[in-house]
Structure 1
Amino acid sequence: MNRSARLPRIGVLANADSWYFQDLQRAARGKALLERLEFSSLQSRIGAGESISAETILSENFDAVIVRTMPLGSLEQVVFRMDALAGLERQGVLIINPPKSMELAIDKYLSLSKLSAAGYRVPQTHVCQTWQDAMAAFEEIGPSVVVKPIFGGEGRGIMRVEDADLAHRVFKTLQQMGQIIYLQKFVPHPGYDLRVLVLGERMWGMRRTSADSWRTNLSRGASATLAPIPDDVAQVARQAMQTLELSIAGLDFLPDGEGGWYLLEANAVPGWKGLSAACDVDVAAELMDYVVARINDQRKAPYPSGASGPESC
């Protein structure tokens, strides 16, 4: 069968029990053929050209790869995984999100630094390596700060610190563990934030509300409702996507209590289960349509230099 005539083949890097992979499988019926891939199975052979595989040679068998998970790993593992995805991209495989963009978004410090440099309003943040420097920052930007891991999501590892003695113990422990100390000034808010999911040119907004916690993650019991996206937030969301060169992302905005908004972070592997229900939108179908359209556009274009593309089947 000619490559341009067959259904697109899409690999999805996802956990074995991933609800999102199942949702994408449902949405892909009649549009594309999906196969789940494991990050741990990625491997590369270099010699007569580079061959990147996950049981099968990916550039010869897949038109695109969607990243739906980012498992923990050593620095070497994380770097190699991103390198392997970048290699596939050079060979003409569409990666959603692009590896360099994921590297930016996954690293809270790097992404916030780039967003701040581009002029977006972000919370006052201090990143350091010693407990002494962290205490000095706490005294300056406190008396209430939020301590976060640079890598991570869904509210894991995040804590609010308001007491100097507790801050001293937390910062010392993080240093002893070899962790970077990342603290942000706590921004008082009315118990909700705004998650904006952006996919290509489309976006949807939901208000995440928590009645008994300053954290509004749905995985921690917050509720979600459809929310209009203010014009200024929509403009920042579009520009932030361009700044980080993302195809799909969840952007978190926090009201400042004075009619303005802080941009907290960009999630390059966003969930959509709660948003789909809140906004009555089939995000998986929207994503599949987006990826298939990108694949079709790519099929019409010549392959990058040195890339042969998938063989006909």
Structure 2
Amino acid sequence: FENLDPKGALVRGFGAAPTQKIFFRLDLLNAIEEYGIKLINSRQSLEIASDKFLTSIYLERHNIPTPKTIICENPNDALDSFEELGGDIVLKPLYGSKGVGITRISDKGFAENVLYTLGQLNEIFYLQEFIEHNNRDIRILVLGNNAVAGMYRVSDNWKTNIHAGARTEPLELTEELANLAIKAAKITKTEIAGVDIVESEKGLLVLEVNSIPGFTALQKVTEFNIAEEIVSYFLKNAKI
């Protein structure tokens, strides 16, 4: 590591991998930082944002509004949590992106089958109350102290991920939306963040903070050159 030349590195990929490899990659990033190389985003940010449990803890601890969430290991506890969350939940893997592995469950019999099957595989249960959102949510790109662009993601079903077929629509970025996104990014130590927000009867709720946000879809509905903005932010803040 002492032979590495750059003063900083822009982390734009982390990769899907078994847990052991994920920890090893985090260790590599930790070692790079130990040798004085500035990472954007930092190793800590990547650890928090890539783990839905940690993200939920940080957001809840700092009073960021989010859907009610329960995390447990035992399928019996998970089934009780299903009832506690109103019998209509979204079950998510702790790690992952693009909507892969996310399932909505609103039937108790189906919940029993899914939860006990996953229990046999020693899975962790991350259950979140389903929030009615008219098949639409919001993605906001945050760079440091600025919310630079946003979009609606609109779908024909409850999943609003672009990779699941959702389409983009322009968004007027209000002060309330911008402030919430910036706060969520700061709480999770994420300098370059894609913050997912849903409009609900309870108000604005933060769903997730992505520390390696894609921006191809967002670029289609904003006048900013997003790649240029990201590189400019990196060069300024990595002090290269």
TM-score by length of 2: 0.94
In structure 2, C-alpha distance between the alignment counterparts of 1:270 and 1:293, rounded to whole Å: 19
State the Cα distance separating 1:182 from its structure 2 match. Answer: 0.8
1:243 aligns with 2:187: yes
1:219 aligns with 2:163: yes
In structure 1, C-alpha distance between the alignment counterparts of 2:146 and 2:184, rounded to whole Å: 14
Q: Tell me which structure has the larger Cα radius of gyration.
A: 1
Contact 1:104 1:110 in 2 (8 A): yes
Amino acid at match of 2:22: V
Match of 1:192 in 2: 136
Match of 1:68 in 2: 12
Match of 2:223 in 1: 280
Contact 1:190 1:257 in 2 (8 A): no
In structure 2, C-alpha distance between the alignment counterparts of 1:151 and 1:233, rounded to whole Å: 26
Calculate percent identity across the aligned residue pairs.
Answer: 33
What is the 5 A alignment of 1:252-263?
252-257=196-201, 260-263=203-206
Where 2:220 maps in the other structure, the secondary structure is helix
Q: Of 207, 220, 230, which residue of structure 2 is paired with 1:264?
A: 207
TM-superposition CA deviations, 1:41-75 (whole Å, max 9, x none)? xxxxxxxxxx37xxxx4xx2223222222223333
In structure 2, C-alpha distance between the alignment counterparts of 1:190 and 1:207, rounded to whole Å: 12
Backbone CA RMSD of aligned residues = 1.5
Match of 2:151 in 1: 206
TM-score by length of 1: 0.73
For these two proteins, the number of residue pairs brought into alignment is: 239
Give the stretch that moved more between structures: 159-168 or 138-147: 138-147
In structure 2, C-alpha distance between the alignment counterparts of 1:289 and 1:232, rounded to whole Å: 26
User: Which ranges of 4 or more aligned residues in structure 1 deviate by more than 4 Å?
Assistant: none
Amino acid at match of 1:189: H
State the Cα distance separating 1:234 from its structure 2 match. Answer: 1.5
TM-superposition CA deviations, 1:157-185 (whole Å, max 9, x none)? 00100111110011011111121011111
In structure 2, C-alpha distance between the alignment counterparts of 1:295 and 1:146, rounded to whole Å: 38
Where 1:146 maps in the other structure, the secondary structure is strand
**Alignment gaps of 5+ in structure 2:** none
Match of 1:140 in 2: 84
Match of 1:289 in 2: 232
Amino acid at match of 1:194: I
Give the stretch that moved more between structures: 145-154 or 217-226: 217-226
Amino acid at match of 2:232: D
